[in-house]
Chains A and B, each alone.
Chain A
């Protein structure tokens, strides 16, 4: 099915470890986003990429880096994981003129111990 694919679905890290969350979309969208979902906080924007070759910080960028590898792929990297980064991470993509805003991936549940 067309859409947004995130890997992995689950991950447990030790404090200080690094990892990269992968995201790919096959809808030829220009814009891609990374959000985190925490109880009582809703979805908060970490980083976004309005188009290939550009990235910008969102509301909660500290502790994260991103790479827009090409039009399809947008990865999120945690260089030194902290327990405060325990969350569910969602990747999304969109295109100007869509009535439905974003298409989301199914999420990555990350636990940092």
Chain B
């Protein structure tokens, strides 16, 4: 049972445009959510997080939106840059930053 799902395996965007990556979850006990970015031959690195008490968190070009009623979160990257090309994983956890459950990942390609 996949508790965290990223239904789009890949996304292609033109440089300067907005990238929107989506993630759905099924477990209502999740209370914090994170996005990680992964380049080839490297480990995932933290990008941005949001707790369930918020519906939006912004950090520079990156904004995460959380819709708890729909059990859906999204990552917006504006403007997209070629260096943003990577695999993006969403992750979810419950209480005090314990175990995280990850989605399948979305490959983002930003074309110059």
A interface with B by C-beta (< 8 Å):
4, 31, 33, 35, 40-45, 48, 50, 58, 90, 92, 94-107
Contacts and interface: CB of A to CB of B under 8 A. Distances in A.
Contacts of B105: 42-43
B49 to A, nearest CB: 6
A99 B49 contact: yes
Interface in B69-101: 89, 91, 93, 96-101
A97 B45 CA distance: 17
Specify which of B89, B97, B105 lies most central, judged by the most chain A CB atoms within 10 Å of its CB.
Answer: B97
Interface of B: 4, 6, 9, 34, 36, 41-46, 49, 89, 91, 93, 96-105
B93 A101 contact: yes
Contacts, number: 63
24 contacts: A31-B98, A33-B99, A40-B9, A40-B104, A42-B6, A42-B89, A43-B91, A50-B98, A90-B43, A90-B44, A94-B97, A97-B97, A99-B49, A101-B46, A101-B91, A101-B97, A101-B100, A104-B44, A105-B43, A106-B41, A106-B42, A107-B41, A107-B42, A107-B43
A95 B89 contact: no
Contacts of B46: 100-103
Given A40-B9, A40-B104, A101-B100, 19 more contacts: A42-B6, A42-B105, A43-B44, A43-B89, A43-B102, A43-B105, A50-B98, A90-B44, A94-B97, A96-B97, A97-B96, A99-B49, A101-B34, A101-B49, A101-B91, A103-B46, A104-B44, A106-B43, A107-B43
Contacts of A31: 98
Nearest to A102: B100
A42 B97 contact: no
